[in-house]
A and B are shown apart, each in its own frame.
Chain A
Amino acid sequence: MLAYKSGDARAFSTLVQRHRAAVFNFILRSVGHRQRAEDLLQETWLKVVRNSSEYQPKARFTTWVFTVARNLCVDNARKERFRKTRSLDGPMGADDERSLGELLPDDNAASPERAADSVRMRPLIDQALSSLPDEQREVFLLREYQGIAFKEIAEVTGVNENTVKSRMRYALEGLRKKLNEVGIEAELVSPVSPGRTVA
């Protein structure tokens, strides 16, 4: 980022290639809407470009870019607060009757059986994730999927580290309860037992 700040356009390209997918997944899990997530992703990177002169190397670039993305997600959530939220299980559009979960690819599928289980579990997991409060969901997303440490999450979210850990515990507990409610048992999805199916 410092290289781009000094005028090296290729450095920015490198940054985009490195972090774009992670930022997109974070935004997508946060807003739960693909088209809106794409718009927010573009807006996030445009904001990174515009505010590149304000970047300070005190924090990692990852922390900074996720801070930008998170703020945009929060703004979007405020705008969409009074808008009817479409369920992840609902149809994606008039021309596409498949749900968002059905559209998601399964790169981790090791076998057809596991792929089938993953396809069946994915909407349930998305539903469980969506049921979390925003502040818990963002902490879980940043820590679980983006690998950002609690200390950095505290910088991103603007709260102290203990609050982040507390939110994380609540998020894990909420997910566990939700997954049990929808019938996903731990042993069925355990990595050590890939052959098991969802009940």
Chain B
Amino acid sequence: MKPGVHQFEDKLLDFAYGELQPHEAEAVDAHVRGCTKCAASLAQITTVRSQMQTLPQELAPSGGLESLLAFAQQHAAQVKAPNRTASWWQRLLVPMSSVMALLVVGVVAWRAQYTPDAASVAFRQKAPTPMPVAVTAAPPREALTVEREVLRDRLAEKAAPKMANADVSPPADESFNALFGGGTDAPREKREAATTRGADKPAPRADAENKKDRGDYGLSSRSSEVASTGSAVQGSGSSDDRAADKIKDAAPSPLAYAEGLERKQQTPGASAPVVASTPRPIGEPVPAKTSMALGGPAGPRQEAKPVEAEATGALNDGVAQANTAANVQAQAVRSRVSNVFEGQLNSARAANSTGDRQTEIKESLGVINGGAEGAARAEALKRLCDAYDTLGEADSAQVFCDLLVREFPQSAAAKQIALRRSALSPKTKVTPVKKNPAAPAMSR
């Protein structure tokens, strides 16, 4: 096959489909007319095309057309939308502002809920009864003391229901006493009732009688002290420091219960009187929860935490943790205190039986300094009174005897002492005082 003869053979396809330029088409047409082979090839193409043209065009389905157009319209609207907005930061302005506002509200709410100051203020506002100290007019120290007292009340109220649910748990007041000491052991109603009375007026006898009937001699004494403290702060016009000291004195700590003697021995410089040293200032550290829960050795100072930090932490941890901590702490302190006091009293009894008065005095002082209440305190005072008397230390014996008579006037030992004194010296008369008198140092 010569290339020049069928030079248009490659263009037959384009010629058949009309894709050649007019002059090219004329040239191919002229060639095909004179070339049988190219004419046959062109005929085959046109024949097949003719046959395939019998296949008709199908109608497109109508289904989905509306949804397609709707989608296209929506897409077109989205295409138009960015042109109306100015810039990306303006589009993000509204959602970002909303998020920031929510964050601010959340932070403020969180702080209002968990900040101790805000919590205490809110609690004071919610409190149904007025507090004995005016917080707004109080100096910082007093305000802090009252605030901590409120905090203790709150924790005690949280702890009370759970402890009441447990069969082995004492009432809320007792659990609170075990947790925070006996200074605020009197119910709030009684303290407030005492607050309304005069500053020099002691707690009513019926109140003390009720306490005594429950065997709560030490508590009744302290309740009157707390009542008088509140009255003094509010109505007597005494100095702020004195008021704060009274409140502090009225709030013994669990450490005083369980670790009182050991603490005194570790801090010989603290020559607090017998009764005044029993309560714990609120700022003093308290035993760690874990050591008490595990029943570890009594009174490791390293495990103690400041009450303020503990209270703040408890609030921050939430009510649930506060309840749990209160329960654990109260139970641990109760068990430890009872064990320590019982052991010391047993030692004192054994020393008494062997005639070792010094040991008896030491163990009894440990019970007193530990903040014992009720029968344990009465027995310790009686042993101190007798032991000092036996040793011939009349002054010391008189101090403890006076305490015994004053704090437990209805006890047999007190009556016996009163009778003995009246027999020896009819002019001697023991009068109850409103505040713990200065007592000899307990540490030996």
Contact = CB atoms under 8 A, between A and B. Distances in A.
Q: Which of B53, B58, B59, B61 has the most CB of A within 10 A?
A: B58
Contact of A49 (B57, B65, B75, B83): B75
Interface stretch (A37-45, A56-64, A70-78): A37-45
Interface stretch (B66-74, B215-223, B389-397): B66-74
Nearest to B81: A7
Interface in A69-116: 104-108
B13 A46 contact: no
A42 B64 contact: yes
Interface stretch (B44-52, B185-193, B241-249, B411-419): B44-52
| Dominant secondary structure at the A interface | helix
Contact of B13 (A23, A41, A169, A191): A169
Contacts of A52: 75, 79
Nearest to B12: A169
A175 B48 contact: yes
B1 interface: no
A165 B13 CA distance: 8
B60 interface: yes
Contacts of A41: 60-61, 64
Contact of A7 (B17, B45, B61, B79): B79
A24 B55 CA distance: 14
B76 A7 contact: yes
A52 B49 CA distance: 35
A99 to B, nearest CB: 14
Nearest to B80: A7
Could you say which interface size class chain A belongs to?
A: 35 or more
B63 interface: yes
A144 interface: yes
Contact of A24 (B50, B60, B71): B60
Contact of B48 (A5, A12, A172): A172
Nearest to A193: B50
Q: Which of B54, B59, B79 has the most CB of A within 10 A?
A: B54
Nearest to A44: B68
Interface of A: 4-9, 12-13, 16, 20-25, 28-29, 38, 41-42, 45-46, 49-50, 52-53, 104-108, 118, 121-122, 125-126, 129, 140, 143-145, 149-150, 165, 168-169, 172-173, 175-176, 179, 184, 186, 189-191
